[in-house]
Amino acid sequence: MEDDLKFRTLKEEDYETICEWWKWWRWPVLPKESLPDNGKSGFIIEKNDIPIVACFLLITNSKWGILEWIVSNPKYKEKDRKKAIETLIIGVENICRELGMKHIFSVVKNKHLINTHKKLGWFVDEQPSREIIKNL
């Protein structure tokens, strides 16, 4: 990891920041109770105390982890944004290895995120699929 990019777990106060990012990117804001560990089971990359990109990790009762809701700070315009995203994904991969997971699953639409995953050795199914959700 780059020395100036800091990988850390989410804190309670990060939730509001992530909600603002979701709103800016026109994503639905997920309530804390719908996120793993009430919105704290995730990670964020910072540089000089400026949050750049975050995600959540769902830990299953199998050898699978689910990396979801990768979202970035829309106001961060530095050239190392791509490196921050890579650092986040690699950091999650390392955490999953430490937890004994054998696979990580993610749903990605953004072409830049897809290309980043490919670059990092993820299998990307080229056939489009649909997310199917039923709110109860």
CA contacts within 13 A on the Cβ side of 33: 0
Instruction: Classify residue 136: in a domain, yes or no.
Output: no
pLDDT in tens, 15-31: 999 999 999 999 999 99
pLDDT band at 5 (very low <50, low <70, confident <90, very high): very high
Instruction: Classify residue 39: in a domain, yes or no.
Output: yes
Given a cut of 80, whether residue 3 has pLDDT beyond it is: no
User: Which CATH number fits the domain that encloses residue 96?
Assistant: 3.40.630.30
Given a cut of 70, whether residue 40 has pLDDT beyond it is: yes
Spatial separation of the C-alpha atoms in residues 69 and 118, rounded to whole Å: 18
Mean pLDDT of all residues in 91-117:
95
pTM of the model: 0.91
Instruction: Classify residue 24: in a domain, yes or no.
Output: yes
Instruction: Classify residue 73: in a domain, yes or no.
Output: yes
Residue written as token pair 């080229």: 126
Q: Which of 40-49, 66-75, 88-97, 123-132 has the lowest mean pLDDT?
A: 123-132
What total of structural domains would you count in the chain? 1
Beta pairing, strands 6-9 & 42-47: antiparallel
Instruction: Classify residue 94: in a domain, yes or no.
Output: yes
Instruction: Classify residue 131: in a domain, yes or no.
Output: no
Sequence-ordered list of residues with C-beta below 8 angstroms from that of 6, at least 6 positions apart, any chain: 45, 46, 47
Mean pLDDT of all residues in 50-61:
96
Domain that holds residue 43: 6-119
Spatial separation of the C-alpha atoms in residues 7 and 53, rounded to whole Å: 10
Instruction: Classify residue 33: in a domain, yes or no.
Output: yes
pLDDT band at 10 (very low <50, low <70, confident <90, very high): very high
